Each structure stands twice: as C-alpha cells, then as structure tokens.
Amino acid sequence: MLGNVLADVSAFPVEDLPREESRQIDCSITVQVGGHAGNVCACLGRLSQRAALIGRVGDDDLGDTLVRVLEREGVNCSMVTADGMARTGVRLNLTGFSGARWRIVDGGANSNVTRYDVSFSLLGDARVFYACGAHMLPRLPPSDLANALAAAKELGLTTIVSPTLEPAGKWAEALRSILHHTDVMRPNEAEAKALAGVEDVAAAARAFLAMGCKAVVVTLGPGGHAVFQKEGEAVWSGTVKSRAKDRVGAGDAFDAGLITGMMQNLPLPECARWGAAVASFSVRGPNAFAAVPGIEAVRRALREAS
C-alpha cells in the first residue's frame, strides 16, 4: 500500500471555533492512526489479510507510536521510513452535531515520499499494489506513480488507484498514463465526476475505461456503490445498513473490503459488496478500523444482507 499515513486527531462535537482566546470547548477527542494508506492497511490487518505499508513518518515519538499501532494490527512496516528531516503528519478533524466537518492538515513526512521509497524487490509474494493519498505526496508526481504502476503490472500484481482531486490539474494531465497501468480505478462520486469533467457517474466511468483501466468502482456515499467493467452491464448496489457514528475513513474501509474480496478470487461486484460490508462496520467506530471485526463477522453480515 503506497500512500499517506498520519495521526488523526478527531474532536466531536464542535459547533464553532472559539472567537475569544479564553473560551474553552468541551468535547470528545481521540487520537488514532490515520491517512488513507494507514487506514486501509489497518483494516486489512483486522480482516486477517497481509498488508505492507510504503510511506514515511517523522523520526519522532509520534511516528514510533503510529508504527507500533500498525504493527500491532498486523501491518508490515518495514518499508515505512522514519524521516529525520520532517515531523510525523497530523490531521485535525472537527465534527459538529450537524455532521459538518472541518479538516486541518500538516502533511509532515508524507511530503517527502518519492518513487525511491517504492522497492518492489521487498514485496515478495504480493498480489495487489494499491496507491492512494497522492494529494499529500507532492514529491511523487503522477508520472512517477504511473511508472510504479507499470512496474507492478510487470510483476503480475493487480493495481488499484484511489485518486484525489488535489491537485486536480496534475492528475488530469497524467490520468491517461496512470489508467493505462491500472486494473481498478476507485474514486468516490465527486472525484469521478471532477476528474472526468462530467456530471454523470456512468459517463465518468466510461471515460476512465476508455483511457485504459479494466474496471471502475465508484462509491456513492449513502447511495451505495457502482461497478463498471469493459464487458457487461454496470452493477449498482446499495449500502449495508448500519448506525453510523463517524464516516471518516469509510472509503478506506471500503477499499480494504474490496481487496479482501479479491484475495478470495471473487467476481468484482462481489468484492465491492465486501467493501460495502466492511465500511458498514467502520462507521460504527471512532476511526476507520476500530470497529472493523474479523473476516468471519463480515462474511456473516453479507449472508444476512443477501
């Protein structure tokens, strides 16, 4: 898993930021592993799947803590660099009673990730190469990501890209070369429409398929998800019902479930159902992976939802 990892500091409820220096806001605060790649890896660990993280933390106590937590979840962190030139990244998530959210981010060591952090010789018997969080990896331009995806394909790995809108211009310039080496494009609805420059999810998926990827899986928030492949009709599915506490990281949990389905050699629409099921557990907890159960519990939830 190539991408960003940071400390997620979440505060709830926060209706407004203090306007006076002396004012105090009383709320619940949690500190957890975060970042797209960190979340996906931790969720995979909960699902008894082997995952290796490629990224950077600072050479500091916070970075050491993030690595220890990820390793406790079963994640291989041998390719996580402790960067002596940067601090560990932090994201502050403020959520109000209404569900409105504010995010304040210091990318920290994520800003120093480059193509040289990716060493395919260390990936052993990996089956999937997943890339995400490019908006926090400014030294890994889309052209370098395309080269990494090409190298992964040469090794026979399935490639998955979770795109970003920031910076949208750079992505638009290199999107065709990236998708040429991508098996599954995994945007959310807003990302799909913006990157394709259209107002329709199906039209966006067709555009991505025409650029070279084999499949597109779009998450639609409360509307569920849709799976598009070069052959056959699109498959539209709803969400797995769940009482949501916090939706931060739900897309990352979806991706972990999707990958777990792939590890079982399931058809892609069924893999996406695994993604939806894992996401339905994720939103019950304070972060992306805290409420994600073992793989058998997810399997039972899918049977009950059928």
The answer to whether residue 197 sits within a structural domain is yes
For the chain, how many residues are written? Answer: 306
User: 13 in a domain, yes or no?
Assistant: no
> Looking at this protein, which amino acid is placed at residue 112?
N
Structure tokens at 100: 């409105």
99: CB partners within 8 A, 6+ apart: none
Residue 294 belongs to domain with CATH number: 3.40.1190.20
Q: Report phi then psi at 204, rounded to 5.
A: -65, -45
Cβ contact 274:302 at 8 Å: yes
- pLDDT single digits (tens) 60-71: 999 999 999 999
Amino acid (1-letter code) at residue 23: R
Structural domain contains residue 97: no
What pTM does this model have? Answer: 0.92
Q: Number of folded domains in the chain? A: 1
* pLDDT tens sequence across 70-87: 999 999 999 999 999 999
Is the confidence at residue 92, as pLDDT, over 80? yes
Q: Which domain holds residue 146?
A: 36-82+110-305
Let me know if residue 91 belongs to a domain: no
Strands (E), 62-157: 75-76, 80-83, 90-95, 101-106, 128-131
Asked if residue 104 is part of any domain, the answer here is no
Residue 18 belongs to some domain of the structure: no
pLDDT, tens digit, for every residue of 115-125?
Answer: 999 998 888 78
Evaluate whether residue 7 is within a structural domain.
no
pLDDT tens, 257-293?
A: 999 999 999 999 999 999 999 999 998 877 778 889 9
Task: Determine, yes or no, domain membership for 30.
Answer: no
